[in-house]
Amino acid sequence: MKKKKKKNKYLNYVPAPVNLDPEKYDLVSDEEFCETYKRIPLLIVTQSGIFPSRGLYDAKTPEKDYRKLEDLENQPCIAFIGRG
């Protein structure tokens, strides 16, 4: 039986959101995160800007510069989670 995809998607290598129910999102790779379809990508916004930024963990992760919403231009919607 195929697993039902959740409404939102969240990057699989960044810290999990603290106050968001894990039943509301799937953990996905950069490639799937940027795919344009009905699932909403979730990004974290801090006092330093949009998280994660390119090269935050190593030279390859994340592959895109999410501070500039790179490759997310065609998404019907993007959700931002505030974090202090």
CB atoms within 10 A of CB 24: 13
What average pLDDT does the segment 49-55 reach? 77
pTM: 0.81
Given this model, what pLDDT does residue 51 score?
80
Considering its fold, how many domains does the chain have in total?
A: 1
Average predicted confidence (pLDDT) for the chain = 84
Between CA 59 and CA 65 the distance in angstroms is 12
pLDDT of residue 46: 83
Q: What domain range includes position 13?
A: 8-82
Is 2 contained in some domain? Answer: no
Give pLDDT tens digits for 10-45. Answer: 999 888 887 889 999 999 998 999 998 888 999 988
Question: How far from 30 is each of 12, 21, 22, 41, 74, CA to CA, in Å?
Answer: 8, 21, 18, 10, 15
Q: Is residue 3 part of a domain?
A: no
